[in-house]
Amino acid sequence: MRLLNGFGCFLCGSLAVLLCAARANPDRHVDAALARMDAIAARAHLDAAAAVADPVTKVPLAEPEVNVSPLEASDECVLSEACIDQYLWSVYDRAPKVDSIKVEEQIKTTVKKNGKSRTVTKTVTKFVNEDFTWKDPDAAEKAGMSVAQYVIGGMDGAFKARLYHLFRALDDAGLAPGMTSGFRDDYRQSIASGNKAATNRSYHGGSLRGGYGHGLAADIVSVKGETRSERCISSEILWKWIDAHGQEYGIGRPYLDKDPPHIAPIDGKEYADKRGVNAKLAEKGDASTSGVAKAAKQGRAEPKPL
């Protein structure tokens, strides 16, 4: 009622002002004044009705953005490529980018032969730690992309769906997977260290393999453990788990312990070339029986063909 009384005072005051203006110049102002009064009265009627019906004015609030942890995944996520990409990025983002690489060094040493001493040069191989955190960002910048768009977006879509299921299973098994490398173009391949394919022939996404959007390989480790030594032990367990169960998700390790972190589709050319047709067919046979049945039972989609 206070609202209605207040409005009445306001309306009367406004009417007085407008009538005074009309008397001063009736020909120019009366029509405009009456029009404004009609508009004010109509607005007031609506506001008053609303105030009586609901004395508390409710202002609609903007919907807050949903901030879901990227590691909280669900079966419905397979319906959205963006959801899969977010999950894979979280697995990539949590993995330390540190590797052990072989470094050859030449040293001089003294040897004795036939009672005589002489100095010779020997080549020795040492293992040293390499931090390659900078490499993907550098390649992404050259490509004009964010690191996520580069590393995750450059992989084949069906392969990403398989990785999603595999990583979820590894997480469920308590093995804490982390992806150290996803898509790699020719430049990124050229600055890679250790076991690697030729610059343009990498199944990670080399130009001869289709380039961006066609990456069919990833490197994975376990991030479980406080020290690097503990994480190395966890990674060994993770790789052996993939050897035992990876066919259920259409993924295997083409090089086994020659390049332990490297995984690829078991029905892809790389896996067939490195493991042989018989190994490929045998694992596909396993997947067509218990593997697919288990995936279906767990509510996970059957791996898509590549």
Higher pLDDT, 172 or 27: 172
Q: Is 174 left (phi over 0), alpha (psi -120 to 50) or beta?
A: left
pLDDT number for residue 291: 39
Look at strands 116-131 and 98-113 and give their pairing: antiparallel
N- to C-terminal Cα separation, the chain: 71
Q: What is the pLDDT of residues 62-91, one digit of tens each?
A: 333 333 344 455 566 766 899 999 999 999
Taken in order 251, 254, 256, 259, is the CA torsion positive or negative? negative
Q: How confident is the model at residue 3 (pLDDT cuts 50, 70, 90)?
A: very low
| Cβ-contact 55, 123 below 8 angstroms | no
CB burial readout 38-68, b (16+ within 10 A) else e: eebeeebeeeeeebeeeeeeeeeeeeeeeee
What is the mean predicted confidence (pLDDT) over 264-292? 67
Percentage of the chain modeled with pLDDT above 70: 63
Per the listing, tokens 């997480």 go with: 171
More confident residue, 43 or 243: 243
Distance CA 98, CA 159 (A): 25
CA distance 7 to 122: 99
Residues 6+ positions from 35 with CB-CB distance below 8 Å = none
Q: What pLDDT, on the 0 to 100 scale, is given for residue 152?
A: 98
Could you read off the pLDDT of 93-107 as tens digits, one per residue?
Answer: 999 998 776 777 888
Exposure b/e, 207-220, CB count within 10 A at least 16 = b: eebeebebbbbbbb
Q: What's the confidence (pLDDT) of residue 44? A: 44
pLDDT, tens digit (0-9, with 9 covering 90-100), for 179-219 = 999 999 999 999 998 778 899 999 999 999 999 999 999 99
Q: What angle do CA 154, 159, 163 make, to 5 degrees?
A: 105
How does residue 300 score in pLDDT terms, banded at 50, 70 and 90? very low
178 DSSP β-pair partners: 221
pLDDT at 223: 97
pLDDT category, 29, cuts 50, 70, 90?
very low
At 274-284, the pLDDT tens digits run: 997 555 444 45
**Model pTM score:** 0.64
Give the residue among 90, 96, 38 at the shortest CA–CA distance from 68.
Answer: 90
- Mean pLDDT over 253-274 rounds to 96
Q: Considering only CA atoms, which of 61, 64, 18, 20 is closest in space to residue 41? A: 18
Q: What is the pLDDT of residues 216-238, one digit of tens each?
A: 999 999 999 999 999 999 999 99
